[in-house]
C-alpha cells in the first residue's frame, strides 16, 4: 500500500555538509519545526553530504525522542558518488540487485530505523536491468525494509520500462514556475494516467538564485500577487504547484523556520485562475499556446 506522505516534504540535502552543516541539536530543532507545521516526511539520498547526511540525521533522530511512526522517511539509491567515504574512480550508477539491497540496508543503519517508507532510484541508468531491480525491491518489501518504491528524474518511457516488472508509486522530478516543462512534455500526464504520485525538487526554481529576463518578469508579478494575497512570494510559488491536479508533493530544501511556515500556508491558498495562468505566462515570456 502506498504510504501517506505529508503534502509538503522536508528535503534534507542542505542540512549537513552540503549546506548548513547542522549539528545534532540543530537537526533535532529542524525536525521539530517541520513537525509543528505538519511536515512529517523527510527526503534523503545516500549521497547527500558526500555520504554523511543520513548518518548525521539518524544520530539526531535517535536523540530526538520523536516516535518513528509519526514520520515518514524517503531515501534514494543508485548513484555511486565520489567522496571521502567511497573509493570510486568515477561517478556512475549501479542498479544491480546486490547494490540496491546493500544501499538500502546501509541507509537503514545510518538513519537508525528498520524500514524506509519510500525508496527511490535516484537517476536513470542506461544499463538498468528491470528484472534485477524488481528482484531487489521485491526482496526488500518482503523483508519489511521498504514499504513503497518509486523513481527520481525518470521520463515516462523510462518509467514504463521499470513498470514492466514492478509497480511504481512515486516519481520525484524537477518542477517549478521556472521549470514547467513537465506540464507539457507528458511527464505529469503520464503520472496521472498511471496512478503515480509526483514529488518535485527545487520547487522555487531559480526565482531567488538567478537574475535574468524570466525571473525579472516573474518577480514583478509575484510582488503584485504577494500584495494581493497577503502572503510571501515563496508561498505563491508553492501554491501554484499544489494547484496542479496531479497532486504534486513539493520537496522544500529550506532550513528557515519562516520559510517552512510560508510553505505550509501554500496548502490553503487558492490562486485565482487568471493569476495561475499569469505565472505560467510570465515564465514563458509569451501567452499560452
Which are the catalytic amino acids?
48
CA atoms within 13 A on the CB side of 98: 0
- How far, in Å, CA of 28 to CA of 66, rounded? 9
SS3 helix, strand, coil % of the chain, rounded to 5? 45, 15, 40
Q: Measuring CA to CA, which residue among 74, 69, 91, 71 is closest to residue 82?
A: 91
Three cell numbers written together for 7: 503534502
Compute the C-alpha angle 79/91/82, nearest 5°: 90
Helix or strand run (H / E) with residue 26:
helix 24-36
Q: Measuring CA to CA, which residue among 132, 185, 133, 121 is closest to residue 157?
A: 185
Q: How far is CA 273 from CA 39, 46, 247, 265, 277, in A?
A: 27, 40, 17, 18, 6
Three cell numbers written together for 233: 512570494
- How far, in Å, CA of 144 to CA of 146, rounded? 6
Amino acid at each position: 500500500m502506498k504510504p501517506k506522505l505529508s503534502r509538503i516534504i522536508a528535503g534534507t540535502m542542505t542540512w549537513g555538509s552540503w549546506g548548513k552543516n547542522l549539528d545534532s541539536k540543530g537537526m533535532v530543532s529542524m525536525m521539530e519545526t517541520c513537525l509543528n507545521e505538519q511536515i512529517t516526511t523527510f527526503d534523503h539520498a545516500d549521497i547527500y553530504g558526500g555520504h554523511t547526511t543520513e548518518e548525521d540525521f539518524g544520530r539526531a533522530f535517535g536523540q530526538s525522542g520523536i516516535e518513528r511512526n509519526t514520520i515518514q522517511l524517503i531515501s534514494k539509491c543508485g548513484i555511486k558518488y565520489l567522496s571521502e567515504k567511497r573509493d570510486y574512480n568515477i561517478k556512475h550508477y549501479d542498479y544491480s540487485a546486490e547494490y540496491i539491497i546493500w544501499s538500502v540496508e546501509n541507509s537503514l543503519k545510518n538513519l537508525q530505523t528498520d524500514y524506509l517508507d519510500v525508496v527511490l532510484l535516484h537517476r536513470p541508468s542506461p544499463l538498468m536491468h528491470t528484472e534485477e531491480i524488481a528482484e531487489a525491491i521485491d526482496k526488500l518489501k518482503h523483508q519489511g525494509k521498504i514499504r513503497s518504491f518509486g523513481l527520481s528524474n525518470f521520463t515516462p518511457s523510462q518509467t514504463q520500462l521499470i513498470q514492466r516488472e514492478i509497480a511504481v508509486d512515486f516519481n520525484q522530478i524537477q518542477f517549478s514556475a521556472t521549470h514547467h516543462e513537465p506540464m507539457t512534455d507528458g511527464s505529469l500526464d503520464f503520472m496521472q494516467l498511471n496512478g503515480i504520485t509526483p514529488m518535485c525538487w527545487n520547487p522555487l526554481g531559480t526565482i531567488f538564485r538567478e537574475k535574468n529576463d524570466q525571473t525579472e518578469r516573474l518577480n514583478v508579478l509575484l510582488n503584485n500577487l504577494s500584495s494581493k494575497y497577503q502572503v510571501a512570494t515563496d508561498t505563491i510559488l508553492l501554491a501554484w504547484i499544489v494547484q496542479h491536479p496531479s497532486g504534486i508533493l513539493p520537496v522544500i530544501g529550506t532550513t528557515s523556520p519562516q520559510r517552512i511556515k510560508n510553505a505550509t500556508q501554500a496548502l490553503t491558498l487558492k490562486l485565482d485562475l487568471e493569476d495561475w495562468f499569469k505565472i505560467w505566462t510570465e515564465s514563458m515570456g509569451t501567452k499560452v499556446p
